[in-house]
A and B are shown apart, each in its own frame.
Chain A
Amino acid sequence: MSKSNLTRRGLLKSSAVAGAGLALPTIFTASSASAYMNEPTGGSVTLGFNVPQTGPYADEGADELRAYKLAVKHLNGEGDGGMMTTFSSKALQGNGILGKKVEFVTGDTQTKSDAARASAKSMIEKDGAVMITGGSSSGVAIAVQGLCQEAGIIFMAGLTHSNDTTGKDKKANGFRHFFNAYMSGAALAPVLESQYGADRKAYHLTADYTWGWTQEESIVAATEALGWETIETVKTPLAATDFSSYIAPVLNSGADVLVLNHYGGNMINSINNAVQFGLLDKQVNGKKFEIVVPLYSRLMAQGAGEAVKGVLGSTNWHWSLQDEGSKAFVKSFGTEYGRPPSQAAHTTYCQTLLYADACERAGTFNPCGVVEALEGFEFDGLGNGPTLYRAEDHQCFKDVLVVRGKENPESEFDLLEVVEVTPRAQVEYAPDHPMFAGGNLGECNDGA
């Protein structure tokens, strides 16, 4: 069993009366209360890795899980240490966290908020997990983040790109290392201008749900600031598999750029359809027609195949980066699994390290201590240059990559090339930016 002995006992005693107006009927004997939710009392600490293992994002989830296992290895002092050696904070000793051996439990989010919450709850209630991390969509991230806030557990978000995660749905117990839609827009805009000019007409196809809307809003704002005109924004149903009826009118709309605010399977199909319709071979308004995919991932590029060649987009991280941290991580991950890590793997690995490091620096697993240690934390060596975990909204600020589908890939992993590393200063925004307004971090909750 990959879990410690006493954790669970601590758990429910404390959650028990949490917030309850009246005391519980104490017919049964209660043991002594612990200081905070799921306080690890044995020689080990349990982390909960909640990733999609079934459904369309299962491969992304599998990659996240690989990264988590690698991080646990490194934290426990096995393997080559990966990015722990390049991480600017040296609090981690390779002897677990605070001297406790790191153990983990895994669960399946199914990329559904209900299932993700069920899985996270079982980790908290049954396995005594002190931190939950993972996920591959914003809906899931926000749902689980809310749960962790209520339960008094730290949530380290996995892949979630919606502005809302650290905007109107931000929570004191939740932290996001991944970048967001606003940053995608801010990073892409200058590159789009230099590559395609300031006089372009854009046509947006947008997945019709929260993440799609925030991305559309961000990209429209960023490109219109350049002087681009937005011809049309069309919402496509999430369940759509064939986008022909949305692609077909694009050529006659007068637009010369198509922006695909899609992710995963939606994006793979829509870009394929767009290329089938020959959009990339056309000249409109005297310019070459272009396609932009604001949120890219290598797995998506792999699924879309030839269609991504020459298409611009942004990404959180890419394995071809040459800084010390990235190199160490790629080496460690590649030696272990025989493939380079995806951006999802990178962000989840970082999140695990950042959490462990925060515990070390705080000297406790208490969520409020961890929150304090992470808020305003400046670090480097994790692959994106100097990074700040901003206290106001628990969003990481770091460099963002603009990438392009590679024309002549050398291997099955070599699908994207980095066009530009957009410096952090360019993607920063005020905490009360209108796209992020309306939320409230609230107080940290330790579940006691």
Chain B
Amino acid sequence: MMGMNNKDATLFLIVIVLTLLAPFILNPFPTDSAMAQFNAGYPDLMQRFVIFGIFAIGFNILFGLTGYLSFGHAAFLGVGSYSAVWIFKLFTYNVIPAIGLAVVLAGLFALLIGYVSLRRSGIYFSILTLAFAQMSFALAYSVLSNPKFNLTNGETGLQVYADDPQMFHGPNLPDLPHLFGLSMRANHQMSVGAWDFNFNVGYYVCAVIMILAFYLAIRIFRSPFGMMLRAVKSNNTRMTYTGLNARPYALAAFVISGMYAGLAGGLMASVDPLAGAERMQWTASGEVVLMTILGGAGTLIGPILGAGFIKYFENIFSKINESVLHSWFSFLPDGLEDVIVAMVYPFVGKGWHLTLGMLFMLVVIFLPGGLVEGGQRVMKLFGKKKSGSGAKEKSTQSTPAE
């Protein structure tokens, strides 16, 4: 189907269904229940899920296939965001040109950095990408935001001001990024009984783009080009001996993943028109590395899972405070309630980093293939029973055929 084998097509369909129904899936708890704290179905977080999903999918094309571990991909995300906001400032709030420029500029930037960095491999390559990204961050944070030549607006972040030219901005267009007049913030809330579900334009724009990006990634993974990239990873020397030059392939993968990062950056600016320099910092580059490994590097769906996992913790666990805990455990007798709250409290709210760190360790210790392997094991548990009964059927079926 559409150039995919059955397994990929099924996965692709699952991703489509999950993404489009995300507003329902992510809000499983009634709005007023105590568990609503765990609901993730509000526009901002849903947008973040798919945007970082795109970022991680792209990163995986480089890292998962070629094995080149870039520690500087946040730079491309930042370039994407800055170019999108500049389009908003100078020309129009329409997101299409902004996203377009974000992808193109990030691609060019990636070409430049990739061309230089790919002269080395292994950790030397990683450090080269890290160095370029940290330089970009440092320059964006201070030097490029000086009053004489303010390209990035530094610490505050690049944003649109009322006196910006915005040449093609019309009076009846929304004063926020929009898709041909449809504001990215436009939102519809559906109330069903005690549940509320949000349908947000920004989210669906990003979701559709992520689905396309995911489709493209599947095609790349299964293409001859993808095979070449795997060859770069598994045996670079042999590839060279057979007369193939690995570098152009690796560079192509680098630029493609840079463009994915730029796309993610452009979308981030489109749903929220402010581009902060921290987006380019090494911690941000490290985050996408963690997302990919956590989810399962080299797998199709892994990076998206990893991105969702980390963003969920960042946004949901950090908001659980002491009074929330008390309200959860209020059914317990007073003394016990305090004890339980005191035990849980270090792991939530301001302690969300601790929980995240422990989960990193647990996942990598017990699930060497990342979350995807976890999923596979669960499937196998169910699958065993199924395949067991299936085997029986088969044997019963096969007997008559003989």
Which residue numbers of A lie inside 8 Å of B, CB to CB?
1-2, 5, 8-9, 11-13, 15-22, 24-26, 28-31, 53-54, 58, 61-62, 104-108, 112-115, 117-119, 121-122, 125-126, 137-139, 142-143, 146-147, 150, 164, 169, 208-211, 213, 235, 237-239, 440, 442
Q: A237, B142: Cβ atoms under 8 Å?
A: yes
A-B contact pairs, 29 of them (CB 8 A): A1-B33, A2-B324, A15-B185, A16-B186, A16-B188, A16-B189, A18-B186, A19-B175, A19-B185, A20-B181, A20-B183, A21-B178, A25-B188, A53-B318, A61-B350, A62-B350, A108-B349, A108-B352, A112-B276, A125-B44, A137-B155, A139-B155, A143-B276, A164-B156, A208-B143, A209-B141, A209-B145, A237-B138, A237-B142
Q: How far is the CA of A169 from the CA of B161 in the complex (A)?
A: 9
Please tell me if B172 contacts chain A, counting CB pairs below 8 Å.
Answer: yes
Q: Mark B157-199, 1 if CB is under 8 A from A, else 0.
A: 1010111000000001111101001110111111100001011
Residue with the highest number of chain B CB atoms closer than 10 Å, among A29, A30, A126: A126
| Closest partner residue, chain A, to B200 (CB atom) | A12
Cross-interface CB contact of B189 among A12, A112, A237, cutoff 8 Å: A12
Task: Chain A residues near B278: list those with CB within 8 A.
Answer: 112-115
Q: A22, B176: Cβ atoms under 8 Å?
A: no
The 10 A-B pairs with the shortest beta carbon distances in the complex, nearest first, are A53-B350, A139-B155, A121-B44, A113-B276, A21-B181, A19-B174, A20-B183, A126-B42, A208-B142, A108-B318
Q: B321, A106: Cβ atoms under 8 Å?
A: yes
B96 CB to closest chain A CB, in angstroms?
15
Knowing that A1-B327, A114-B276, A169-B156 are A-B contacts, what are 8 other residue pairs whose CB atoms are under 8 Å apart, sorted by A's residue number? A12-B43, A18-B174, A19-B176, A20-B185, A21-B172, A28-B199, A104-B323, A121-B272
Task: Chain B residues near A146: list those with CB within 8 A.
Answer: 159, 274
B137 CB to closest chain A CB, in angstroms?
9
A2-B323 CB under 8 A given contacts A22-B182, A125-B43 = yes
Q: A442, B276: Cβ atoms under 8 Å?
A: no
A47 CB to closest chain B CB, in angstroms?
13
Cross-interface CB contact of A113 among B157, B181, B185, B198, cutoff 8 Å: B157
Cross-interface CB contact of A9 among B154, B159, B172, B189, cutoff 8 Å: B189
A18-B190 CB under 8 A given contacts A107-B318, A114-B276 = no
Q: A209, B44: Cβ atoms under 8 Å?
A: no
Q: How far is the CA of A164 from the CA of B145 in the complex (A)?
A: 14
B203 CB to closest chain A CB, in angstroms?
11
| Closest partner residue, chain A, to B188 (CB atom) | A24
Task: Chain B residues near A29: list those with CB within 8 A.
Answer: 190-191
A75 CB to closest chain B CB, in angstroms?
15
Q: B44, A122: Cβ atoms under 8 Å?
A: yes
Please tell me if B112 contacts chain A, counting CB pairs below 8 Å.
Answer: no
Cβ < 8 Å to A, chain B residues 85-131: none
Please tell me if B230 contacts chain A, counting CB pairs below 8 Å.
Answer: no
Task: Chain A residues near B323: list those with CB within 8 A.
Answer: 2, 104
Q: How far is the CA of A164 from the CA of B196 in the complex (A)?
A: 39
Q: A125, B42: Cβ atoms under 8 Å?
A: yes
Q: How far is the CA of A410 from the CA of B155 in the complex (A)?
A: 38
Q: A117, B274: Cβ atoms under 8 Å?
A: yes
Q: B155, A8: Cβ atoms under 8 Å?
A: no
Please tell me if B236 contacts chain A, counting CB pairs below 8 Å.
Answer: no
Q: Mark B220-257, 1 if CB is under 8 A from A, else 0.
A: 00000000000000000000000000000000000000
Cross-interface CB contact of A211 among B155, B163, B276, cutoff 8 Å: B155
Task: Chain A residues near B172: list those with CB within 8 A.
Answer: 21
Please tell me if B288 contacts chain A, counting CB pairs below 8 Å.
Answer: no
A126 CB to closest chain B CB, in angstroms?
4
Q: B138, A21: Cβ atoms under 8 Å?
A: no
| Closest partner residue, chain A, to B175 (CB atom) | A19
A105-B183 CB under 8 A given contacts A12-B189, A19-B176, A28-B188 = no
Please tell me if B279 contacts chain A, counting CB pairs below 8 Å.
Answer: yes
B326 CB to closest chain A CB, in angstroms?
9
Task: Chain B residues near A11: list those with CB within 8 A.
Answer: 189
| Closest partner residue, chain B, to A16 (CB atom) | B187
| Closest partner residue, chain A, to B36 (CB atom) | A1
Q: A440, B162: Cβ atoms under 8 Å?
A: yes
B312 CB to closest chain A CB, in angstroms?
12
| Closest partner residue, chain A, to B43 (CB atom) | A125
Q: A15, B32: Cβ atoms under 8 Å?
A: no
A235-B32 CB under 8 A given contacts A22-B181, A112-B278, A146-B274 = no
Q: How far is the CA of A25 from the CA of B200 in the complex (A)?
A: 11
| Closest partner residue, chain A, to B44 (CB atom) | A121
Q: Mark B6-27, 1 if CB is under 8 A from A, else 0.
A: 0000000000000000000000
B300 CB to closest chain A CB, in angstroms?
27
Please tell me if B48 contacts chain A, counting CB pairs below 8 Å.
Answer: yes
Please tell me if B304 contacts chain A, counting CB pairs below 8 Å.
Answer: no
Please tell me if B45 contacts chain A, counting CB pairs below 8 Å.
Answer: yes
Task: Chain B residues near A12: list those with CB within 8 A.
Answer: 43, 187-189, 198
Q: B315, A122: Cβ atoms under 8 Å?
A: yes
A139-B276 CB under 8 A given contacts A15-B187, A28-B188, A121-B44 = yes
| Closest partner residue, chain A, to B34 (CB atom) | A1
Task: Chain B residues near A238: list those with CB within 8 A.
Answer: 141-142
Task: Chain A residues near B173: list those with CB within 8 A.
Answer: 21
Please tell me if B219 contacts chain A, counting CB pairs below 8 Å.
Answer: no
B266 CB to closest chain A CB, in angstroms?
15
Q: B183, A18: Cβ atoms under 8 Å?
A: yes
